[in-house]
Amino acid sequence: MKAFRIEELAADLRYMDLPGHEPTLVYIHGLGTASSFAFPQIVSSGPLRDRRSILIDLLGFGYSDHPDSFSYSMDDQAAVVARLLEALLLQDVVLFGHSLGGAVAILAAAATRRVSRLIVAEPNLDPEPGIVSGLIAKWNEQEYIASGHSDLVGKMQTAGFDGYARTLEATDARAAHRSALNLIGPRTPTFRNVFLELPIPRRFVIAEENLADPDTEWMPANGVPVFTVPDSGHDMMTDNPVGLVEAISRALES
């Protein structure tokens, strides 16, 4: 695990940098989880295992620090990711983001020329609550920190999502709440509009369980190929890691 220092926050962004051939694949996780948990099996499998892979734990999540003064907005998270890519002098980066990570990846791709291709898996594109973000946003910040976070961890455990519950438990409660509010709140331009205007190849990954989503038609109509992960729901890294590896590989080859 490596650390990238953000001096103005007195905080470290931590990431895994796994050697392999270029171009580098950079992974960004969703709300309440961490790339260090979600993606090791993905990057070590099949055609992805020989590629250099960087797994970023966003500030407030996983092994990264949890500075109270940070906004945890998608824009500020994306700015930190872009700074890391610049500091590592990466070229022709393939950026992959899942869920909340997809929104961050979209903004990061717009913030730096070091990204040459973007792959998003069921990202938040419009200002509307998701299942977890909606549950978090029902609380005010102090109440969520005091009791809402532990309550949500318990609900995830009861529902049988033990792995996710563990990473959620390790997530800073303040970071989770601020992230959820910013992710689903109104914004101009929307993540969808930024995604549409990006001047780089874009690919969209969706779980088979969610094929009724209108984006399966909207994406191709706007020049974005769609790749399906079979036998999977939103948590595709856990539901079908082999299928996700194949979808990412097809997206890279297309």
Question: Could you read off the pLDDT of 2-51 as tens digits, one per residue?
Answer: 999 999 999 999 999 999 999 999 999 999 999 999 999 999 989 999 99
Is residue 18 in some structural domain? yes
Is residue 158 in some structural domain? no
Tens of pLDDT, residues 149-160:
999 999 999 999
Q: How far apart are CA 85 and CA 115, in angstroms?
A: 9
- Among 27, 100, 45, which residue's Cα sits nearest to residue 240? 45
Is residue 153 in some structural domain? no
Query: Within the chain, which residues score under 70 in pLDDT?
Result: none
Is residue 152 in some structural domain? no
Amino acid at 200: I
CATH number of the structural domain spanning residue 108: 3.40.50.1820
Number of domains in the chain: 1
Q: Quick one: CA dihedral 172, 178, 179, 184, positive or negative?
A: positive
Amino acid at 194: V
The pLDDT assigned to 84 comes to: 98
The kind and range of the H/E element at 153 are helix 149-158
Is residue 247 in some structural domain? yes
Is residue 201 in some structural domain? yes
Residue burial 156-180, b: 16+ Cβ < 10 Å; e: rest? beeeebeebbebbbbbbbbbbbbbb
Is residue 94 in some structural domain? yes
The pLDDT assigned to 254 comes to: 85
Note if the pTM is more than 0.75.
yes
- Among 228, 103, 229, 126, which residue's Cα sits nearest to residue 185? 126
Which range of residues forms the domain containing residue 109? 2-128+186-253
Is residue 50 in some structural domain? yes
The pLDDT assigned to 209 comes to: 97
